Copies of this chain bind each other. A is one copy, B any other.
Amino acid sequence: MAAPPAVKALFFDMFGTMLDWRGSVAREVEAVLGPLGHRLDWLDFADAWRKSAMAESNQPNSTYCKLDALHRRHLLAILPRFGIGALGDATIDHLNLCWHRLDAWPDVPAGLARLGSKFIIAPVSNGNISLMVDVARRNGFAFDAILGAELARAFKLKPVVYLTACEALDLAPGECMMVAAHMMDLSAAGALGLRTGFIHRPHEFGPDKGEPVPQLPVDVVASSTGDLADKLGA
């Protein structure tokens, strides 16, 4: 049996895998709405926003738009649920762009730098290019390219998103590894022939509420980006 081809590129899911969207969104929303006198459970708000947006992007027949635009629609939808009335457009825009101000999990900047020394590294995220550029600059990520939904003009889990990323690098799917904290993402990529790397993020949805270590087979399971670098020899 021939050995599988060597992995040359790593594709990263970003929200939850690399970025603590929940803690960051809660902090940023509080920073905007708190001074306006609003009092609410900021983590609940972050959860509701994320859940609402993903329910749309994950639909098999979803229509592509920038994630910023999708986030904005769902922000407007959930604000009343939390008892928040009319806000000015500038406030809405600033709130919405809190997704550009997410912080990475603490292991990521150093781990990603190690991975980038051996592999081509790129986000393959539903986040639009400007969002990825902003979080990369904020957190010191040195990606080789921004691949993902905007390049493919479709949302994950659509096959075209993963295949467009491989094709942009002139690589076969088997030379690319999708890295995510979510089995749905890895299953979609693996079905197309990509390699799969699971990073366990036990606290993504709150203390001990992250997705558990998978029961389904993946190529690598890691506890952090540094652990992934160890296991991939980077």
Contacts and interface: CB of A to CB of B under 8 A. Distances in A.
Interface string A126-149: 001110110011000010111100
A30 interface: no
Interface-central residue, A130, A137, A150, A151, by most chain B CB under 10 Å: A130
Contacts of A120: 133, 137
A130 B145 CA distance: 9
Contacts of A132: 145
A137 to B, nearest CB: 7
A145 B168 contact: no
A41 interface: no
In the complex, which of the residues A132, A136, A144, A169 has the most CB atoms of chain B within 10 Å of its own CB atom?
A144
A131 to B, nearest CB: 9
Given A129-B145, A130-B169, 5 more contacts: A132-B145, A133-B144, A136-B144, A145-B145, A146-B146
